[in-house]
Chain A
């Protein structure tokens, strides 16, 4: 039906309809209407919420406004996680639009990083890309790129330019034909139920026997609790970009096609709804 390239597009153009409401205790001069927005799954909250900020600042007194932050059902949302990951991790299987509460006070210092400018997001994003390439190619690809290529990756994300981004990112997804895959797969596994931020280990895409490692192999290896099933039933959902790929899916393919722009596979493991 489709080409693998369409997966890249689908991943890139994933959107989450979101309803922003101002936290009830924020002091306003008049009542603030909720603000509705389609958030790109692959982007970062603080990168795409200028409009939200403006909208709510209009109804607030200047002195009441400090750094904006977001919360969903009591959980402060980490801006440095991609939006799609935040949604999959905290709000899968809930009704849309996603309802996010906007705060301007009482910044939760222990939960969130500050984000005073978009340069901070850029730095974080580029650091992730570099880390991913260190895993994939011993940093060889990213280091061979020019500064403007790095800039193009960032501008592509920031301006939602698929072609612009992939013109460069393509190089990061290549590997020597004799290797059959990356050196290690850049992935992070997040669990809604634990305190631990995420699991990240060295994991090769190809088994010593030469066959391709699958998503199932990865989970078995680094997070067996996600799939062990005493009674033969999987109690969890393994989500990437809002879908549950089969455990038979080769991890190398996933890494090439379903990584976030930061080149990591961000995998959420959440309890399966019981209904």
Chain B
């Protein structure tokens, strides 16, 4: 053992070596920041230098400390301020208890968990080690002044890919020895101040050799010479001005220990100078780039060094470390270290190798607490386990295995365990929580949902999976529901039924929907109903419509219309008319959640379409041999999906084929006799006859499929329908017949006679003559009948009244310029129409004496369907709505700010979706505190003076809150047809 004389910060290299005699052959030595010096002897004991102080930095004498285990001697020792760690020859790690300035030998060894090659101690007793098995660098977490032994080993991720992207270091002095600058000296004093151990306060560091040094070298399988070279090299001290959060690191290859950033950067030129001095050898490597040093002002760009060694390892292997030194590293106890996470996916191997170590507790107080707690449990519980528990654990109603559309990328289905837990609340109310247990990076995690927060559980159309989505108001805003899938249809229906029942239970909703209920239909044909709260349309605090709770009603419909007297009609995809029986449940909803006597079998038929595409070539004419860039020769309408006759399945397992494929002659644009439509190229607009310019053609094939389900619906034969409207009256007495208008699927306008609350199906149809086929109809609260013809123009029916249910004649209403209308809805006094481009228009200038109104005012774009209610409330299905997580198509939206003087409203409130196809709010006449509702239409549209010529002006007005969103969004994962 040699002592270096006269090392000080003016003369860091010292002057001479002087020999210190030892009782045996010393193989390794460790010198702490203050007065602690331990060494290991060849024989396996440790020797401790006694009597080191300011005046006698060499100390006086050696004492010997025996190895903790008699068979295995000490191999390596490392000391800090007042701690000693050692590794014995069997790689076990030991902590020396009771070490301080007065007793440098300490009292006894404590075995730590984990096996290490070596350990090293930093400026404030922080500890690093090299794992025995994996040769990774570990940091001892939880080393504090009160708990010097720390808690657990944690692997430091040392990435290799992210060379020169170090988060920052400060005085990156390169040295194979020790360098001191003023900065470092300042830091050293800061350590003294900051250290909690009063015994060391008075002493200056006797050993100047507190080199800020955490060097680590990859050795592993590399040639010994190479490893040897690199092992000496890297030294990279750094620290921060205030002595906080300092970490030092060096790296030989491109390892990257992330460090706390410090403002104290030396100027790059000085730094480079050091490099030049110290790394002469390194400069032989051409990779060493000066500019990179300047850029990063950090020396871990030393990466240049081990170009050779680096090749030893595969890219995904972590380096095998041979040596680590933290002697100059000050780790602030409370600043989070960024050493443990890989910057990329890299180094997960290191993490996964992390020793599973439980903390070894050495603090006496902690031990005492553990011990006493277990004694307490023994004392208070052991003889009394047969006693009843005061709190009954809640009943696990149902557990099972489902798949979950996981919420991190890449999104995919993963297997999860699911448990629905029900318990009785303090008020006797049952509440339920759904737990979804999943694995995330081999860690068990769960999400849970309180079912009283769930707003809807909806089946998702998916031909491969039996899946459903669960929304809460929050998830509606995100457009990102919890999506689950079951293995079988039966299993999914069991879950849906149970979850639905639990939701209804926790909201105390049971029995049939009220007359005011809002009905909606998804694109899957599922029917949902929601009880409107009075705050939905009026009140100081309007209820956001994402809080509406929707429950399912059995059956399959394309369209549904209601009024406030409980008359509800629906139309299926096969145009069959259905009248609501007043029941509830049906479909998968069984048992108590379903009414017994008014649920009937219901079926529906719809078509699945595929396209046969062909391209013309000069040799064979049109053939099924396309260009390499062409769409599939059998595809969906978009051409993006291949759809052949054999691989195309019914929309969901609930559907079954009821016909074979046949050519469909009805697509828009017309077809030739063989069903072909021609165009110049894909994708284009198609026409029904071949011209010289047409190089491609397609034809549509259809196949019918059928669903058989049940629900509270009774067929109204024999006429099949396209549209219906029921008068939204609220004040008529029960016996009075309810006006109901319809459009047959041929376009005839029909008026249903004899519809009453008791007989909602009515008795007979009355035909109302028209010049052309119609497509949409609506009747307002005061028998205002409006209709849309197939050519896109609007008509008003004059003189309709209870006594003259069919009225007398049609008045043509010009549509907004250049727009073809497709839907009309008339509320109390408001008339809204929707054009084929998704624009919503309000009819301005309607008065009782002039019910046709004067002009169209543009309200919004991006609308697919709308419903105007008896309060003149406006609800729509918007085409696209952007949520925080995803985009949804077909979203229920509510127009807010609709007032007698502001019938067009102000903005949109977004509700459930996407995947919604239709909504009717025409039953909701609950006015709540809405005081002054005009009893005539006169005070309603304020702008009634506007003349016909103003119509064009109305068109140029744009909606204040367009619903349009950018289309470049992620595909709609949460829509019902997702």
B380–A17 contact, CB under 8 A?
yes
B370–A7 contact, CB under 8 A?
yes
Size of B's binding interface in residues, CB under 8 A: 43
List 12 interface pairs A-B (beta carbons < 8 Å), by A numbering: A15-B381, A15-B384, A17-B381, A38-B381, A96-B380, A122-B426, A155-B425, A241-B373, A242-B376, A243-B376, A248-B365, A249-B369
| A3 CB within 8 Å of chain B | yes
Residues B345-392 near A (CB distance < 8 A): 358-359, 361, 364-370, 372-377, 379-381, 383-384, 387-391
Complex Cα distance A108/B379, Å? 32
Between A148, A155, A159, the greatest number of chain B beta carbons within 10 A of the residue's beta carbon is seen for A159
| A234 CB within 8 Å of chain B | no
B373–A7 contact, CB under 8 A?
yes
Between A49, A96, A118, the greatest number of chain B beta carbons within 10 A of the residue's beta carbon is seen for A96
Interface of A is mostly: mixed
Complex Cα distance A210/B379, Å? 38
A14–B376 contact, CB under 8 A?
yes
Complex Cα distance A244/B359, Å? 22
The one of B196, B423, B448 that contacts A211, using a Cβ cutoff of 8 Å: B196
B390–A96 contact, CB under 8 A?
no
Residues of B within 8 A of A248 (CB): 364-365
B365–A177 contact, CB under 8 A?
no
B380–A14 contact, CB under 8 A?
yes
A250–B146 contact, CB under 8 A?
yes
The one of A10, A119, A246 that contacts B365, using a Cβ cutoff of 8 Å: A246
Residues of A within 8 A of B389 (CB): 15, 37-38, 160
| A178 CB within 8 Å of chain B | yes
Complex Cα distance A239/B662, Å? 85
Within the complex, what minimum Cβ distance (angstroms) separates A33 from chain B? 13
Residues of B within 8 A of A241 (CB): 373, 376
Residues A14-33 near B (CB distance < 8 A): 14-17
Residues of A within 8 A of B334 (CB): 177-178, 180
Within the complex, what minimum Cβ distance (angstroms) separates A49 from chain B? 7
B368–A246 contact, CB under 8 A?
yes
Residues of A within 8 A of B336 (CB): 177
Within the complex, what minimum Cβ distance (angstroms) separates A180 from chain B? 6
Within the complex, what minimum Cβ distance (angstroms) separates A44 from chain B? 11
Q: With A10-B373, A160-B393 known to touch, is A1 a contact of B361 (CB < 8 Å)?
A: yes
Complex Cα distance A78/B718, Å? 74
B390–A39 contact, CB under 8 A?
yes
- What 3 pairs between A and B have smallest CB-CB spacing? A17-B384, A243-B372, A118-B426
The one of A3, A49, A242 that contacts B359, using a Cβ cutoff of 8 Å: A3
Classify chain A's interface size. 35 or more
Residues of A within 8 A of B367 (CB): 1
Between B368, B383, B391, the greatest number of chain A beta carbons within 10 A of the residue's beta carbon is seen for B391
| B450 CB within 8 Å of chain A | yes
| A198 CB within 8 Å of chain B | no
For the A-B complex with A40-B391, A48-B390 known, give 12 more contacts whose Cβ atoms are closer than 8 Å. A1-B361, A15-B381, A17-B387, A38-B387, A96-B383, A155-B425, A160-B391, A177-B334, A211-B196, A242-B379, A246-B369, A258-B369
The contact string, 1 if C-beta is below 8 Å from chain B, for chain A 126-154, is 00000000000000000000001000000
The one of B380, B388, B448 that contacts A16, using a Cβ cutoff of 8 Å: B380
Complex Cα distance A11/B368, Å? 15
Q: Number of contacts between A and B (CB, 8 Å)?
A: 121
* B positions within 8 Å CB-CB of A: 145-146, 194, 196, 333-336, 358-359, 361, 364-370, 372-377, 379-381, 383-384, 387-391, 393-394, 423, 425-427, 448, 450, 453
The one of A10, A148, A245 that contacts B377, using a Cβ cutoff of 8 Å: A10
Closest to B385 in A: A38
Residues of A within 8 A of B375 (CB): 243
Between B372, B383, B387, the greatest number of chain A beta carbons within 10 A of the residue's beta carbon is seen for B387
Within the complex, what minimum Cβ distance (angstroms) separates B554 from chain A? 32
Residues A215-240 near B (CB distance < 8 A): none
B370–A1 contact, CB under 8 A?
yes
Complex Cα distance A253/B380, Å? 24
The one of B372, B380, B393 that contacts A244, using a Cβ cutoff of 8 Å: B372
B376–A246 contact, CB under 8 A?
no
B453–A148 contact, CB under 8 A?
yes
Complex Cα distance A10/B373, Å? 7
B394–A43 contact, CB under 8 A?
no
Closest to A35 in B: B388
Complex Cα distance A6/B389, Å? 21
B379–A96 contact, CB under 8 A?
yes
The one of A3, A37, A164 that contacts B387, using a Cβ cutoff of 8 Å: A37
Within the complex, what minimum Cβ distance (angstroms) separates B427 from chain A? 8
Q: With A17-B381, A96-B383, A248-B364 known to touch, is A158 a contact of B426 (CB < 8 Å)?
A: yes
Complex Cα distance A22/B852, Å? 82
Residues of B within 8 A of A11 (CB): 373
| A269 CB within 8 Å of chain B | no
B369–A7 contact, CB under 8 A?
yes
Residues of A within 8 A of B388 (CB): 36-38, 51
Complex Cα distance A30/B372, Å? 43
Complex Cα distance A97/B335, Å? 48
Complex Cα distance A242/B373, Å? 8
Residues of A within 8 A of B384 (CB): 15, 17, 36, 38, 96-97
Residues of B within 8 A of A119 (CB): 426
Within the complex, what minimum Cβ distance (angstroms) separates B184 from chain A? 23
Complex Cα distance A241/B375, Å? 12
B146–A212 contact, CB under 8 A?
yes
A249–B365 contact, CB under 8 A?
yes
Residues of B within 8 A of A14 (CB): 376-377, 380
Closest to A243 in B: B372
The one of A118, A159, A242 that contacts B394, using a Cβ cutoff of 8 Å: A159
Residues of A within 8 A of B448 (CB): 164
Residues of B within 8 A of A245 (CB): 365, 368-369, 372
Closest to A50 in B: B390
Residues of B within 8 A of A106 (CB): none
Complex Cα distance A6/B366, Å? 12
Residues of B within 8 A of A155 (CB): 425
Q: With A14-B376, A245-B365 known to touch, is A159 a contact of B383 (CB < 8 Å)?
A: no
Complex Cα distance A267/B831, Å? 71
Complex Cα distance A51/B377, Å? 24
Closest to A212 in B: B146
Within the complex, what minimum Cβ distance (angstroms) separates A62 from chain B? 20
Residues of A within 8 A of B373 (CB): 7, 10-11, 241, 243
Closest to A176 in B: B334
Residues of B within 8 A of A2 (CB): 358, 361, 370
Complex Cα distance A11/B373, Å? 8
The contact string, 1 if C-beta is below 8 Å from chain B, for chain A 45-59, is 000110100000000
Residues of A within 8 A of B196 (CB): 210-211
Within the complex, what minimum Cβ distance (angstroms) separates B668 from chain A? 49
Closest to A215 in B: B365
B390–A159 contact, CB under 8 A?
no
Complex Cα distance A236/B391, Å? 33
Closest to A167 in B: B448
| A117 CB within 8 Å of chain B | yes
Closest to A179 in B: B334
Within the complex, what minimum Cβ distance (angstroms) separates B931 from chain A? 31
Residues of A within 8 A of B377 (CB): 10, 14
Between B366, B388, B450, the greatest number of chain A beta carbons within 10 A of the residue's beta carbon is seen for B366
Residues of B within 8 A of A37 (CB): 387-390
Residues of A within 8 A of B370 (CB): 1-2, 6-7
Within the complex, what minimum Cβ distance (angstroms) separates A8 from chain B? 11
Closest to B424 in A: A159
Closest to B332 in A: A177
Residues of A within 8 A of B368 (CB): 245-246, 249
Residues of A within 8 A of B366 (CB): 249, 253
Complex Cα distance A243/B375, Å? 9
Residues of B within 8 A of A40 (CB): 390-391
Complex Cα distance A17/B387, Å? 7
Within the complex, what minimum Cβ distance (angstroms) separates A255 from chain B? 13
Complex Cα distance A178/B332, Å? 10
